[in-house]
Every structure is written in C-alpha cells, then in structure tokens.
Chains A and B, each alone.
Chain A
C-alpha cells in the first residue's frame, strides 16, 4: 500500500444536486470526472490520506465575514453553506493536528464574494476562504494568515474583505485584468491605509506557461511569504489557468499546479474556479492532492499535453521578469509610508456589478486610520434592488478607540433612514441588524 509522507485531509463535496442554472458552467457535472479520477486512482486507500464528511456552515459563521443584504437566507443556498462548511471541516482537520494539510474540493466557489453580499458575482455568493479564516481565528486564535490565490481571475472578493487587515496577507496571481473578468488586480492595489502592502497583485499576461508561474512563485511569492511569516498558508486553488480552460487564456498545466503546490506547501487548499471539467480538473486536482501528500506527481499529465501544451513565448518570459523586478522593489524593500494620524477617517467609493444576478451597487466605504488595530470600517451601500444600507465592522482585536467610535457610528446610523443597519462586532462576537 502507498504511504503518504505528509498526512493529508480531503474534503470532497461535488454538490451533485446543485447548479446555478441548467446550462451554467457552475453545474452538477463539474466535479464528476474529478471524482471518477480520484476514485479510480484509489486515492482514498493511500495510507495517510483521510477523507472527511462535510457539514454546513451556519449563518453565524457567515456573519463573521459578510453583511448579507437584506439577510443570509436571501443570498445563500444550502450548497453555499456546505461549501463554506467543507472548508471549515478541512481547517479543523489541520488545526486539531489530525493531518498536516488539507484540501477542500468543494463547490460552489467563493473568491469573488466581497464583504457586502447582494447576490451572485462571478459564480460566487459566499467567500468560502474568508468564512474559513474567520472561523479559524475565532476557534483557534490564529492571527497571521496568508492567502495565495492562484485562480486565473483576480480574487477581488477576498481582496475586498482583507483590504484593511494587516494580519492577512493576500497574494493574487491572475490573468491581467485588462484582458479578463473582473478587470481588477493591478499592482497599485496594495491594501488600505492600515494595511498597506498586505495585498499583493501579480497580473500575468495571457499565455503565461509553467515557467512563468513557477518563476513568479520562486522569485516573488515565496520571499514575500518569508517576510510576512504567516502561521498558516491558504491556497485558493482555482484551476482555470489551465491550457484547456474554455473561459481564460493562460497556459498552465496539471504538472505545473502540482509543482506549485509542492513548493508553496499550503496548510489548506480550497478549490476555486476551473471549468475544463473533462480535460483539466481531473488531472489538476489529482496533481494537487498528490503534491499536498508529498507523493510523486511525475505520472500526472493531461492526455493532450504533448500535443497541445505550449511553452510560453520568450517575450512573455521577459515581460514577467520585468514585472517581478518591479514588484520585488515594491513589496520586498522597506518603503517609507505616508504618515496618517490615528483617528483620521479615509473614505473611498466603489461601483460593483453582480454579473450573474444583474445587480448594480454603489458603496461608500469609511475606514478609521488606526495605529493600534485594523481600524473601524463602515460601508454604505445603495443598489439597483432599491436598498440603502449601512454596515459597520468593529474588527477582531479592535482597540478601545475604534470600539467606542463603532458604537457611536451605529447609533448615528440608526437615526438615519437606512433600510437596514448592520453592526458586526468581532470583539464581542455579535452581529446586530436593525
């Protein structure tokens, strides 16, 4: 019997009875062939690989991350709760020490879901990584966490949720936003005033291949992680960078994903996108599982690899070398940050489109500049649904000043004519809706 050098947990939830709509790519069939491949390989017979049963997340778990407008019932389905809950099961397996790493192979995905949720964006309603991370913080008291998002699309939802959090390093490697949904994720998006440098965007040109991805990982991502010193590394393991993917233009491969996984050595990996359900997902997922378990991946290869895989052109290699040089300069050298006095309120506005549900939203976000915590946050939202709401977050480990200010903002908001006012108080672990 094969023995895994690294004990690895697997949470598999293909949601065989759920689809966004009858012919949507996020469909029942999506993980069918992946399941077939995993079963046929006998993965679950490997000594050291443990499969876990999913459990649904609760609304309480969701409320540590999101403001669902008008409420959780309206924007989630049972499948979203199980997908997020599956990630929490994986986290439990790792943090109780039963396994050294775990992979949540669940659907639907979540990395386009932002702090405020009005509906479905980019196939996502609930940010499953964020729900998992805040569960980990609440239950296991772990603070410094890094997310490396290797989905082909910019993880704009995760970026939004952790924009102001200096304890969460968010690194997204994706196809350049000028060529793909959601159109964001440029290097100058590097975090809010209290968390500058904890958001790292690495936009890669179309047709980037194995060489480019692994170069970025070795030269940039690993050094940034070394500098940040996270207690946990989480991989948002989207698989749409694959050369067979129908909705993107990258040139990555199963062996490339396997190599990336064994070098990154994430504690937790979570499946995100990836829609080449027949000729990418079965092989990529197999590669990731074997790599996490420390097993040989040299026989993992798409049947059409020799025929269809193309090395990236020399021009792209040079482009990426230049990009990495710039980003090293930006993130690995210490820069003098503009000084902001504690207590200063900084605001920004955002226009958000929910492509699946056709909802348009305008947000006005305010953050309290703070030297002692992640800072008090408020998001005022108006949407084409006709709802006008105010959401206030007192972050985990908020300082006294931010907590006091939070109560003040809340009572002020109650006097205004919002349809709903939400207060997420992570210090007291409460969530109030008015």
Chain B
C-alpha cells in the first residue's frame, strides 16, 4: 500500500493506493503549522489501516518554499572565487559573502591559483559572525571542481556544514550555482528538523516503510537523502498534479495537462508519457536556481477568481482572488457561482449564486443564466489563450544545430487532460475553444496526491571529457578521473550509465525502475592550427519523471 500526501495552499490531500486501486482519499484544510498539518493528515489517512501494510510514503510539502518566502533561512556564509566576466559582487547573497583569489577558465584550467592565507582570512571573518554553515562556489567548477574541493579542505574545521557548488547541478550558470548552493546551505537546518519531525510522527504510528519527498521535476528522493539538497524539495506542487495527470490518463501522444484550482490554473505538456522539463531551473522567491523542474506555466485564473465586467460587456476573470464564492459566503462573484447558477455544481447557496450573477449582468442587460454562461465561455477562452501562448513559448526556444532548425518537430498538443476541482465543469468550454478532445479522468480532484504517491526517483548527470587535458568530470556525482587520449564517446556513455545508476540507487531508486535517457550528446574535435589535438565530449543523462513500474504495468 502506498500513501501519497500533497500539501497545498488551502488543502492538504492524502490518498491510499493499493494494487492499482485508489482505496481512500482525504482532504483537510492546511494549517499554518506544517508539521501539525502533516500529523493530522497522516492520522486521518491511515486511521483504518494497519501501518505495517504501508510499503511506501511520498510527501509533496511546502516546507522549503515557505521558508524561502518567509525568509526563515539560517545565516549562511559564502566563499566565492570568480575570475573574469561580470562583476561577481553583483551575485552577493546572504550575510557574509566573501570573494577570494583564484580562478578557472571556461575549460576548467586554472588561470589564477588559490591563496590559502586569503581563504583562511575570509573563513575567519565569516566564523567571527557566528556563522556555522557555508557554501563554496567557484566559477566553472562544473568543468573542474578542484578549487571548491581545495577550499573545503582548508576551512573544513571551521564550520559545521559545508555545501559545494559543483554538486548542485552539472549546468553552467555561475550566479544560479551561487544562489542554489546558498539555498541548500541556508535551508539545511530547518530541513533536517522537518525530516526528523516527520520521521518521528511516522515512527510513532509504526510506519517504517521507505519515505520519499517529491521534487519540482516530478521525481522523488528518499527523505534522508533530501538533506543533501534541501532546496530541491521546494515548489513540488505543480509537478504533483502533472504526475497525477500522467497516473490517471495514459497521456499518449502530445497531451496538454491542465490543473484548474481555486486561484490558479497550471499547465504542462506531456509527450508520449514524459513531461517536458525546463532547461535551467525554478525561481524561488527572488532566487533564480539550478533546480530542475517540469515546464509548467501558471495563470491567475481559477474557480474562485474575482469576476469583473465593464460597460462594454467585457468580462475579466482574475488574476485576483478575493475570498470565497458568493454561494459559500463570499463577497465577490466567481466562476464557481456561475457553475452553481448553471446547475453544473451543487454546493453552497444556489440563491446567493444566482443573485451574484444577476447583479453582475445587470449593467449589461443580461439575466443570471446568460451571465453565468458568458462567464464560463470567457473562462474557457482565457485558458485557451494562455495554452496557445504557452505552446508558442515552448516552440520558440533557441536551438543550436542545423538538425534542430530544419528537422525538429514542433510541439502541438493533440488532446487535453483536465484535472483539479472545477475540471469537469470547465472541460467542455476549454476543449471547444481549443478545438481539442478532452478527458477529465476519475479522481481528477485528487490528482496531485496520486501523482506524488506514484512518482519514481529521478536524477541527472553531466559528463564532460577533454582528451587534450586528459580529464573526465561528472560534477553531480563529485567524480573526476584522468583519461588517456583514446577515451571516446562509447567510453563516456559506459561511464555515465554506471554513474547515473549509482546516483539513482543512492537517492532511493528501486534497481528495477532505473531507466534513463540521453538528453545531450555532443562530441567536438578540438582543432588547433589545422590539426586535431583532442576531443571535447559532452553527455547528459537523466532519469525522466515517470511512474512506479507496477502502476504502469497494470494500467
């Protein structure tokens, strides 16, 4: 039996899944105390279940997101070595940001050595502020982590927790590497406390099954391993619903998944069962990070959005939400009131809903029913417009090879899968506006918790080999090794394949579910003075977000 739990802004959902059946679902209001919310949700979810029967628990939480937005980060020092480029002072973050001597060039070749005295001085200054946690980042460390590793050796006695930049991601982006390393470090204390509290709740219940946390890329990581990269657990909500759509529908071909909530509508594209991912990383508050996520787009349009109408009869829905629908005691008319008026939904006071619609339509001479119909049409159109610009955005991403310019297929959704509270009421309007077939799967309103429950472990690795320099590096695995000039792409693929396996097992993957794909594979001849002096090999492998094999098999 699997327990899936998704903490949302207003509700916390749980689901119990066994043998491909959704056994039970539960919804409680989210309280301000997260641990308390989890405790209540777990208690209710497994009240009738023998804890020993639970084999797996997966949590999609708001711990990291809230800590960042509410600025509850632990004081963290940063030791940075940069080199030529943009002024590194501009990337300053945290209360103690120290630039030290030393730099590497774009190939990871040292162009300015580190200065031990300078580094110990910087460390001393950070320590004098009472700071116990630091991040160490050097420019181009993903092409050569040597400076970060050396600095860590020199200062390791001075601090309790040290986070290194090259391990957060294999992607190039120095400012994002700085912020991501900072966030991991600054969240670590809170995250450790949170995972300890969660483990305690489950231990007390007698649940000792493997525990996982959902990440924004739609994959999971084992709870105890999440402490290595706490920021990777932030903003998993949108991924939970995309994985839910994938779990409840086959998502064959090119599917656009829409999750309509009270305040927002989120969208994502799933191609042959694999959700598209962003090339860089999520934004958390004001921080741009290297944390992978699914490519999702959110608009301020949901069942509880405020509706306004101007004197030309143009309806404007959202982006604000001003409390509950009128039918449920609120003050401003909402699409939910329109649904109630049209008998699409049976909650709250229908009289209040009708009244809200007739007041809304009065200035343009429409009765309640016509007004409500207008609202639904307008909402369908607005969502359809956003879908079109999202798809357009995906198709206008830059490409760097002739092959991609001339032969790459454009993304064109063939169907819609619509989930979330008002999914069934709105599906017809959105489908008609986009002229696409649509599906509202059973349990659509609990898709997020289902998605969390069934998501498998994901990870990615980046390999860079330079046969002229004689090195191969996989930063995410903190791996580097000398190679001989004959090292080629086949060797690279072999090395990367075994490394990603180890990495996945480390993060809690089931050996049978490891299935990776090649994201990037490039091999450059290095030419100097009309002759070949080496190979520059680049390879990126990833385990795509996907569902547990047992769920897929019996679908």
Q: Is the CB of B106 within 8 A of A2?
A: no
Nearest residue (CB) in B for A277 is: B527
Partner of B172, one of A12, A16, A29, A40: A40
Q: Is the CB of B402 within 8 A of A82?
A: yes
- A404 interface residue per 8 A CB criterion: no
Q: Please, which residues of chain B bring their CB within 8 A of the CB of A286? A: 85
Q: Please, which residues of chain A bring their CB within 8 A of the CB of B286? A: 1
Q: Which of A1-35 contact B (CB under 8 A)?
A: 1-2, 12-18, 22-25, 27-29, 32-33, 35
Q: Is the CB of B398 within 8 A of A51?
A: yes
- A283 interface residue per 8 A CB criterion: yes
- B494 interface residue per 8 A CB criterion: no
Q: Please, which residues of chain A bring their CB within 8 A of the CB of B87? A: 296, 298-299
Nearest residue (CB) in A for B142 is: A40
Nearest residue (CB) in A for B110 is: A303
User: How distant is the Cα of A296 from the Cα of B531 in the complex, in angstroms?
Assistant: 37
In the complex, what's the smallest C-beta–C-beta distance from A400 to chain B, in angstroms? 42
User: How distant is the Cα of A23 from the Cα of B533 in the complex, in angstroms?
Assistant: 10
Which range contains the number of B residues in contact with the other chain? Answer: 35 or more
Q: Please, which residues of chain B bring their CB within 8 A of the CB of A53? A: 396-399
Q: Please, which residues of chain A bring their CB within 8 A of the CB of B530? A: 23-25
Q: Is the CB of A16 within 8 A of B522?
A: yes
Interface 0/1 of A290-306, CB less than 8 Å to B: 10000110111111100
Nearest residue (CB) in B for A302 is: B84
User: How distant is the Cα of A27 from the Cα of B176 in the complex, in angstroms?
Assistant: 30
Q: Is the CB of B107 within 8 A of A40?
A: no
Interface 0/1 of A261-294, CB less than 8 Å to B: 0000000000000000010001100100010000
Knowing A53-B396, A53-B398, A78-B406 are in contact, say whether A303-B103 is a contact too (CB < 8 A). yes
Q: Please, which residues of chain A bring their CB within 8 A of the CB of B139? A: 40
In the complex, what's the smallest C-beta–C-beta distance from A54 to chain B, in angstroms? 6
Q: Is the CB of B532 within 8 A of A56?
A: no
Q: How many residues belonging to A are interface residues under a CB distance threshold of 8 Å?
A: 50
- B156 interface residue per 8 A CB criterion: no
Which residue among A22, A41, A290 has the maximum number of chain B CB atoms within 10 Å of its CB?
A: A41
Nearest residue (CB) in A for B406 is: A78
User: How distant is the Cα of A15 from the Cα of B406 in the complex, in angstroms?
Assistant: 12
Nearest residue (CB) in B for A282 is: B106
Q: Which of B100-156 contact A (CB under 8 A)?
A: 103, 105-107, 111-112, 139-140, 143
Knowing A12-B398, A303-B83, A303-B84 are in contact, say whether A37-B106 is a contact too (CB < 8 A). yes
Q: Please, which residues of chain A bring their CB within 8 A of the CB of B525? A: 22-23, 27-29
Nearest residue (CB) in A for B395 is: A53
Nearest residue (CB) in B for A54 is: B405
Which residue among A24, A42, A304 has the maximum number of chain B CB atoms within 10 Å of its CB?
A: A42
Interface 0/1 of B221-265, CB less than 8 Å to A: 000000000000000000000000000000000000000000000
Q: Please, which residues of chain A bring their CB within 8 A of the CB of B107? A: 33, 36, 278
Q: Is the CB of B405 within 8 A of A55?
A: yes
- B486 interface residue per 8 A CB criterion: no
- A52 interface residue per 8 A CB criterion: yes
User: How distant is the Cα of A216 from the Cα of B405 in the complex, in angstroms?
Assistant: 40
Q: Please, which residues of chain B bring their CB within 8 A of the CB of A45? A: 173, 175-176, 280, 288
- B497 interface residue per 8 A CB criterion: no
User: How distant is the Cα of A85 from the Cα of B262 in the complex, in angstroms?
Assistant: 45
- B32 interface residue per 8 A CB criterion: no
Q: Please, which residues of chain B bring their CB within 8 A of the CB of A41? A: 85-86, 174-175
User: How distant is the Cα of A79 from the Cα of B406 in the complex, in angstroms?
Assistant: 10
Q: Is the CB of A39 within 8 A of B405?
A: no
Q: Is the CB of A23 within 8 A of B532?
A: yes
Nearest residue (CB) in B for A278 is: B107
Interface 0/1 of B68-110, CB less than 8 Å to A: 0000000000000001111110100000000000010111000
Partner of A15, one of B103, B143, B401: B401
- B400 interface residue per 8 A CB criterion: yes
Knowing A22-B525, A23-B527, A29-B536 are in contact, say whether A17-B106 is a contact too (CB < 8 A). no
Q: Please, which residues of chain A bring their CB within 8 A of the CB of B143? A: 36
Which residue among B90, B105, B536 has the maximum number of chain A CB atoms within 10 Å of its CB?
A: B105
User: How distant is the Cα of A51 from the Cα of B393 in the complex, in angstroms?
Assistant: 12
Which residue among B84, B112, B173, B532 has the maximum number of chain A CB atoms within 10 Å of its CB?
A: B84
- B524 interface residue per 8 A CB criterion: yes
Knowing A54-B405, A79-B402 are in contact, say whether A39-B86 is a contact too (CB < 8 A). no
Q: Please, which residues of chain A bring their CB within 8 A of the CB of B311? A: none
Closest 5 CB pairs of A and B: A303-B111, A39-B172, A42-B175, A40-B172, A36-B106
Give me 7 A-to-B residue pairs in the complex whose CB atoms sit less than 8 angstroms apart, sorted by A's number: A17-B402, A36-B140, A41-B174, A42-B173, A45-B280, A56-B406, A78-B402
List 19 extra interface pairs beyond A14-B400, A278-B105, CB under 8 A: A16-B524, A24-B527, A28-B525, A29-B524, A37-B106, A39-B173, A40-B139, A40-B172, A42-B174, A45-B280, A55-B405, A278-B107, A282-B106, A283-B84, A299-B84, A299-B86, A299-B88, A300-B85, A303-B83
